[in-house]
């Protein structure tokens, strides 16, 4: 739901899975099949650690890198061992979505720039 500087490719792939999951959900819902997309957040793994292959840092990006490091230092990483059972419980639950709060928060920031300008939002004539 959120995007951060310097990891655009990560976000693009994540959002592609969100769109695919929404589409799949609409296609198979008529058969009583539910789709659950799990986006658990960061874990205490080596995702961006020493095993990562990185390019030579460019000085101009230092403020972006520093901001990302500061944000990461304030976050609490999840336990990868606890995720499997939690995912299983969630997938089998009638009330699957835990993202509702974050989606609403994200929309608060996306919608105001377009408010009152429907001519910019509608690319096709409405019937």
Q: What does the pLDDT look like over 58-91, one tens digit per residue?
A: 999 999 889 888 887 887 788 888 888 888 887 7
Indicate the domain borders of the chain.
8-96
Centre a 10 Å sphere on the Cβ of residue 85 and count the other Cβ atoms it contains. 9
User: Collapsing DSSP states into helix, strand and coil, what is residue 94?
Assistant: coil
Output b/e per residue, 56-70; b: 16+ Cβ within 10 A. eeeeeeeeeeeebee
Q: What does the pLDDT look like over 5-61, one tens digit per residue?
A: 888 898 899 889 989 988 998 999 999 988 888 887 777 777 777 888 888 889 999
Centre a 10 Å sphere on the Cβ of residue 32 and count the other Cβ atoms it contains. 6
pTM of the complete model beyond 0.85: no
Token reading at 34: 């539910």
Give the residue ranges of DSSP H helices in the chain.
Answer: 8-28, 62-74, 80-91, 100-110, 118-121
């Amino acid at each position: 739901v959120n995007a951060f500087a310097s990891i655009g490719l990560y976000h693009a792939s994540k959002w592609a899975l969100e769109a695919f999951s929404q589409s799949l959900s609409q296609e198979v819902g008529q058969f009583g099949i539910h789709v659950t997309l799990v986006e658990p957040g960061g874990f205490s793994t080596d995702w961006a650690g020493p095993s990562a292959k990185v390019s030579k840092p460019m000085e101009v990006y230092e403020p972006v890198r520093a901001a990302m490091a500061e944000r990461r230092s304030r976050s609490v990483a999840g336990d990868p061992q606890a995720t499997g059972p939690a995912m299983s419980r969630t997938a089998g639950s009638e009330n699957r979505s835990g993202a509702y709060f974050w989606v609403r928060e994200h929309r608060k920031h996306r919608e105001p720039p377009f408010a009152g300008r429907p001519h910019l939002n509608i690319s096709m004539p409405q019937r």
